[in-house]
Every structure is written in structure tokens, then in C-alpha cells.
Amino acid sequence: MRMLENFLLGLLFFLPVVTHSAEPFSAEPYIVACKACTPEQKARLVQRAGVRDLEPDRTAAANVYLLDESDNSVSRYAVASSAEYKLNEWRFITSVTMQTPEHHALREIHKGWDRYRDFKKKGINWESLEWGGYSPIASAHDVAPRDSGLLAILQGAVERDLNQRLLANASDLASKSVIALLASPKGQSYEIRFPDGTTIVVELANVKLDYFTDELMGLEVNIGPAMDGEIDIPTDATSATRLNWLLLEGEQLKRFIETARAYGLPVNISGSGEHMKCSWDGQMLSCIKSSG
């Protein structure tokens, strides 16, 4: 049998009127968020959040709040879904009705929004990370490799930081609004600066909240560029050999040498003095110290 999808969506987003619906739509809401969304994108977001699993000849109702970061607006929609069998085929119909937001829900959503804005403004600071009993990671060089075991430690520290700053002592609705905002713009990126001045960009993805414990159930920390000054930290031995080693000097050079050693590159240091220059000859990282 063929399911006909007849989504009656989007139209109400263009209308200036607000239609009130009955009490069945006052259940605990689902919350979604977006930024600079078109009416069509908003319609799809609301539909995905509001459509429930259906039994034949039954109607499912959902209460959905949409947060728009572009104008800081909060809209409420009632989403009704029904499936019926007619003329030897199933018809799946979804309707969206705009509603007046409830005062209590608005208050709690704005509390979550305030937390989210504060987080966006301050970002992720190395000093506030909780390492969960592990030694703090002191340099981006340690987590630049994609297969580094330290990446999981960093991820755990970021998760604990987000739980504390965004979700601790927050109501269910405030937590839901925080997670919706956090998960909404794809590829939210934040820079972490380590004590040695190196930086790494982390991208938060697949953010999920456990609504029973009000804690992050899932969070992907994807590693972006790791930088030492203006130079990318290599992510493997091959990228280490491609560095312009002659540009490096001082403490920065020492950090890159240790990273090269960690990747298994042979390093030979000769001479004496406070200054050092290194170059890769295809076989060896040769470094010469000098006093001038």
C-alpha cells in the first residue's frame, strides 16, 4: 500500500492571525529552535517535532514552541496528526494551528534562553572545565590527533561544563529550551584556549538531553582546527612532515618537536646555544642549536 503524505503545513506561518485551539494541545510542550529560518523551514521543524506515532483512525496532538534566534521571538503551535484509510490507501494528514503562548511556559523558556545567551557570550573556558579526576589537558597538541585517547577526557570535561552552566537547577522547560537552542544551529563552534596559548576549536553536535535526570545524554565534540599561534598543529605524522619548520622558534618550536616525536618522527638535535632551527629532509627532523 502506498502512504499519501498530505502535510497541510506552512500556510499558517504566512498568516497574521492567531487561531486558538482546544485544551488537548496544552500538554508538556516540545521545543525547537532555529535562526534566520524561512517560513517553510519553520513549518518543517514544527511538523517534525509535533507529529506523533499514529494508530489507524486516531488523531494525535502535540504542543510545540518554536524559538527564533533572529528576532528572539517565541511562537506556539498545536500540531494535529491523523491517519485514515480511504479508497484503498492510507492518508496521513497534519495540520498546524498557531496559539497564544502560555505565560508559565514563556517564563521558563526565557530563563533557559538567558542561560544560553550567557554561555554563547562567555564560550568554553579551560579554567572552568571539570576533568573528572583526570589530569587537566594542558595543550592543544595533546588532543590534535583524531585518535587521541585524551579527546574523550576533553569531551567529558566539556559535557560537565555544559551540564553545570546550562542545566543545573533548571526547570524541565528551561532545560528543553537550552538544548533546543544548543542543538539548533548546525556546527556550533567554540574555541578553547589552553595554558600554553594553544587553541582548539570544538564543534558541538548531536546534543541530546535526558529529561529524567536533566543531564546531557549525548554530545559529540568534533575537533576542528588546533592552532599554535598562526600555525596548524599537525594531526598525524604526514602533516607534521609538511610543516614549514623554519618558521618555528622558541617555546613554540619545542612544542612542535614533542608533537613530532609523539608521531614517531626521528629527531636529531645538535649544537649548543639558546636558539634553534629545524628542518625536515625527508628522513629526519634535523635541529641545530646556536647562540646567535
pLDDT of residue 108: 95
* Range scoring the smallest mean pLDDT among 21-25, 55-59, 257-261: 21-25
pLDDT at 262 over 50: yes
| The pairing of beta strand 275-280 with beta strand 285-290 | antiparallel
pLDDT of residue 265: 95
pLDDT at 215 over 90: no
pLDDT at 8 over 70: no
Element (H, E) at 65: strand 59-68
How confident is residue 87, by pLDDT bands cut at 50, 70 and 90? confident
**What is the rounded CA–CA span in Å between residue 60 and residue 135?**
50
Task: Please say whether the beta carbons of 237 and 198 come within 8 A.
Answer: no
- Helix, strand or coil for residue 272? coil
Looking at per-residue pLDDT, the higher value among 234 and 93 belongs to 234
How confident is residue 230, by pLDDT bands cut at 50, 70 and 90? very high
Helices (H), the chain: 11-14, 39-50, 103-122, 150-162, 172-183, 237-241, 250-262
pLDDT of residue 20: 35
Domain ranges of the chain: 3-101, 124-228, 238-290
**Sheet of 59-68: strands edge to edge?**
3-8, 89-99, 73-86, 59-68, 30-34
pLDDT at 103 over 90: yes
pLDDT of residue 187: 59
pLDDT at 13 over 50: no
**What is the rounded CA–CA span in Å between residue 93 and residue 22?**
18
| The pairing of beta strand 199-210 with beta strand 215-228 | antiparallel
pLDDT, one tens digit per residue, over 134-191 is: 999 999 999 887 667 888 899 889 888 888 888 888 898 998 898 888 877 665 789 9
How confident is residue 212, by pLDDT bands cut at 50, 70 and 90? low
Question: Distances from the Cα of 38 to the Cαs of 45, 78, 283, in angstroms?
Answer: 11, 19, 55
Give backbone dihedrals phi and psi of 235, rounded to 5 degrees, phi first.
-100, -5
Q: What is the mean pLDDT of residues 211-223?
A: 66
pLDDT at 18 over 80: no
pLDDT cut 90: percent of the chain above it: 45
**What is the rounded CA–CA span in Å between residue 43 and residue 10?**
5
How confident is residue 57, by pLDDT bands cut at 50, 70 and 90? low
Grid cell digits, residue 170: 533548571
**What is the rounded CA–CA span in Å between residue 209 and residue 218?**
7
